[in-house]
Amino acid sequence: MENIYSNRRLFISGFFILVIFIYILRLFFLQIIDSSYKLSAENNVFRHIVQYPSRGLIFDRHGKLMVYNQSVFDVVIVPNEMKAFDTLLFCKIVDIDKLELINKLKEAKKFSTYKPSIIIQLLDFKRYSLLQESLYKFQGFFTQARTIRTYDKPLAASLLGYIGEVDDKAIKENPYYRIGDYIGISGIEKSYEEVLRGKKGVKIFMVDVHNRIKGSFKEGKFDSVAIVGSNLTTSIDLKLQEYGESLMKNFKGSVVAIEPSTGEILALVTSPTYDPNLLVGQQRAKNYRILQLDKNKPLFDRAIGAMYPPGSTFKLVDALIALQEGVITPQTVLPCNGGFRVGSFFQACHGHGGAVDFTRAISGSCNAYFSQVFMRILNDSKYDSIGLAYANWRKHLMDFGIGRKLNTDLSHELKGILYTKDRWDKIFGNSRWRPLRLVSMAIGQGELGITPLQLANVSAAIANRGYYYIPHIVKAINQKDSIDKRFYIKQKLNINQEYFEPVIEGMEMVVKAGTATVAFLPQIAICGKTGTAENPHGEDHSIFIAFAPRDNPKIAIAVFVENAGFGSTVAAPIASLMIEKYLTDSISRPYLEERIFNTKLKYE
């Protein structure tokens, strides 16, 4: 019997010991391991207010301010601190629909009941002031400052880009970002996001039961200061950019101008464009939808995102490759007779008649001459097959930056269209190549697609007599030459320097006495080449590339104007006017300027 009582005592004692141990273990877990209760308690007395840094300013190459910041405010809620409030009054002050407010509050509670959530963004100073006067009526709400972008002039929207709220993907990829943060979406804002954004800080305040700030926690010992973003000096000449946009205002297309000696982009025009101020502030989402639905696609950056056949401007590249490969010389004379004929195949020309020499072939843009040159390139006996000759030709094009990304500092750059040998093998079959099938590429048609940026780069490479620097839009960070090292490296072409002079001679004759006399300037030696790209969807595209002056060139340019006809009609005058504006800061041909301003094309 005594053993039975003894066992019961042991069992009861063990049970109580076990219960006490469980309580101790639970208390240890709550106080030491699980911090949620501590956080919840702390959150009742502490308020962490994010200090958003100002984004870096953006200047043009001459120090003219292009993008700066304006103060706005976010309204933030801590759900478990919120008390019943006058929703109608709140909605009136911040200009928000009641149903939208309710949905935002639900989202905030879903995210966290004790962590702050932004429910209203980018409140202007007027409404912020009104809210501050009544904030004591809205327990659980507070405001925090941030900045938005502002533009002195409605220019260069595509190259500058815009910022927008981060999405879930960005938050997952980078722990720096939180819901409600803003990030560069396109253009320079995207490419240089980490440079421009700066670093967020935080201030910790103590608050009372009425949600009123009572002071800084431990005199700011645990606060961190926001670090302002770095300023960027772009390579853009704002005056040239503005002039280019004014010349292109009635057209669809693009203009890209480059300083050949550095690769710095002087102007990057895409048209139609938009006022970048439309994509800031509380109206950003509404304006973005309007721009997105616009049939003229103002958000589309044609300079780096549109691919066009290069037309006859491409003859310059073929001429250089042919000279390097030794299939022609600068003294080569070939027949024209109104076109290029092989059996039943006929490719029309401009009727130059009889024999055409190298310089006249460039200045007069002879299709027959360059079709024969292209056939010689592909039939070159140095190579065991036409496919290998094509692969070598393609490699030369890649050296020029055609058919691949240039690795510039602009986002969303396309590589263009340039088929590989393997691609043609699949179409024709191995060892079944026929050069005649590809001859349209001799004059920049067929299976070729090139961006305006790439074509401007071709012009710069010819201007430099055989090399280029990767085109780039940023010149300095915080006024220091601290851009990526790749922009200082010469990209050399596999073409001897001696072959550039006869090509450049032909380009100068294009302007003096060839297809682009409209671009002639007596005081500046402009070297150019017209192009007319066939367009199956309407009128041909007008294209012109050029550089000036001939010796020690300061500017290389490419102009694409959609559906404008011959290269000399619209593209050449625009290029010539921009060259004159950049080199002389004046215009000596107001009649030509007026003609461009008054030309209006019909676009569907």
216 beta partners: 205
With a cut of 80, say whether residue 210 has pLDDT above it: no
What integer is the mean pLDDT of 363-382?
95
With a cut of 80, say whether residue 28 has pLDDT above it: no
What integer is the mean pLDDT of 492-509?
98
With a cut of 50, say whether residue 159 has pLDDT above it: yes
With a cut of 80, say whether residue 513 has pLDDT above it: yes
What are the tens digits of pLDDT across the range 84-106?
999 999 999 988 899 999 999 99
Least confident of 46-55, 322-331, 579-588: 46-55
What integer is the mean pLDDT of 354-382?
94
With a cut of 50, say whether residue 148 has pLDDT above it: yes
Choose from 43-47, 282-286, 408-412, 554-558 the range with maximum mean pLDDT: 554-558
What are the tens digits of pLDDT across the range 238-295?
999 999 999 999 999 999 999 999 999 999 999 999 999 999 887 888 999 999 999 9
Q: Which domains does the chain have, with CATH numbers?
A: 46-232 (3.90.1310.10), 238-598 (3.40.710.10)
What integer is the mean pLDDT of 434-463?
95
* Whole-number pLDDT of residue 121: 84
pTM for the full model? Answer: 0.86
* Whole-number pLDDT of residue 36: 45
What are the tens digits of pLDDT across the range 187-203?
999 999 999 999 988 88
* Whole-number pLDDT of residue 157: 95
Distance (Å, rounded) from C-alpha 437 to C-alpha 428? 10
Please state, rounded to an integer, the average pLDDT across all residues of the chain.
89
Distance (Å, rounded) from C-alpha 503 to C-alpha 507? 6
- CA 21, 24, 27 angle in degrees (round to 5)? 150
Distance (Å, rounded) from C-alpha 146 to C-alpha 433? 62
With a cut of 60, say whether residue 40 has pLDDT above it: no
**What are the φ and ψ backbone dihedral angles of 428, each rounded to 5 degrees?**
-95, -25
What integer is the mean pLDDT of 548-576?
96
With a cut of 90, say whether residue 314 has pLDDT above it: yes
* Whole-number pLDDT of residue 32: 55
Distance (Å, rounded) from C-alpha 96 to C-alpha 116? 19
